[in-house]
Amino acid sequence: MSDPLAIGVLGGGLMGSGIAEVCARAGHDVLLVEADASARDGGRDRVAASVSRAVERGKLTSSEAQQVLGRIRVGLDLDACADRDLVVEAVTEREDVKATVLARVDKVLADEALLASNTSSLPIMRLAAATSRPDRVIGLHFFNPVPVMPVVEVVTALTTSNDTLSRAEAFVRDSLGKHVVRASDRAGFVVNAMLVPYLLSAVRMLESGYATARDIDEGMRLGCGHPMGPLALCDLIGLDTVQAIAESMYAEYKEPLYAPPPLLQRMTDAGLLGRKSGRGFHPSPAAA
- Model confidence over 124-163: pLDDT tens digits? 999 999 999 999 999 999 998 999 999 999 999 999 999 9
Query: Count of domains in the chain?
Result: 2
**pLDDT above 90 (res 284):** no
CA–CA dist 100, 8 (Å, integer): 16
User: Domain holding 203: CATH number?
Assistant: 1.10.1040.10
- Flag whether 259 is in a domain: yes
- Element holding 97 (H helix, E strand): helix 95-106
pLDDT in tens, 44-95: 899 999 999 999 999 999 999 999 999 999 999 999 999 999 999 999 999 9
CB-CB contact of 78 with 104 (8 Å): yes
Looking at the structure, do residues 18 and 90 belong to the same domain, yes or no? yes
Largest CA distance in the chain: 55
CB-CB contact of 4 with 29 (8 Å): yes
Q: Which of 124, 151, 183 is the last residue of a domain?
A: 183
What are the residue numbers of the active site?
Answer: 120, 141, 153, 192
DSSP-derived pairing of the beta strands 72-75 and 179-183:
unpaired
- Flag whether 22 is in a domain: yes
- Flag whether 262 is in a domain: yes
pLDDT at residue number 36: 82
Least trusted range by pLDDT, from 32-46, 108-122, 132-146: 32-46
Looking at the structure, do residues 162 and 225 belong to the same domain, yes or no? no
Looking at the structure, do residues 89 and 198 belong to the same domain, yes or no? no
Looking at the structure, do residues 179 and 236 belong to the same domain, yes or no? no
User: Domain holding 45: CATH number?
Assistant: 3.40.50.720
In 108-238, which residue ranges form alpha helices assigned H by DSSP?
A: 124-128, 162-170, 191-207, 213-224, 230-237
Looking at the structure, do residues 118 and 259 belong to the same domain, yes or no? no
Looking at the structure, do residues 39 and 174 belong to the same domain, yes or no? yes
Looking at the structure, do residues 139 and 16 belong to the same domain, yes or no? yes
Q: Which of 131, 159, 183 is the last residue of a domain?
A: 183
Q: 237 is in which domain, residue-wise?
A: 192-269
Mean pLDDT, residues 278-287 taken together: 82
What contacts 207, CB < 8 A, 6 or more positions away?
Answer: 261, 262, 263
Looking at the structure, do residues 30 and 78 belong to the same domain, yes or no? yes
Q: Which of 159, 183, 207 is the last residue of a domain?
A: 183
Mean pLDDT, residues 91-120 taken together: 96
- Flag whether 280 is in a domain: no
Mean pLDDT, residues 274-287 taken together: 85
Looking at the structure, do residues 109 and 59 belong to the same domain, yes or no? yes
- Flag whether 73 is in a domain: yes
pLDDT at residue number 3: 73
pTM of the model: 0.91
DSSP-derived pairing of the beta strands 151-156 and 114-117:
unpaired
Looking at the structure, do residues 256 and 170 belong to the same domain, yes or no? no
Determine the 3-state secondary structure of 257 from DSSP: helix
CB-CB contact of 247 with 94 (8 Å): no
Looking at the structure, do residues 55 and 129 belong to the same domain, yes or no? yes
What contacts 213, CB < 8 A, 6 or more positions away?
Answer: 206, 231, 281, 282
**pLDDT above 50 (res 288):** no
pLDDT in tens, 219-240: 999 999 999 999 999 999 999 9
Looking at the structure, do residues 86 and 47 belong to the same domain, yes or no? yes
- Flag whether 1 is in a domain: no
- If pLDDT is split at 50, 70 and 90, which confidence band does 286 have? low
CA–CA dist 101, 76 (Å, integer): 13
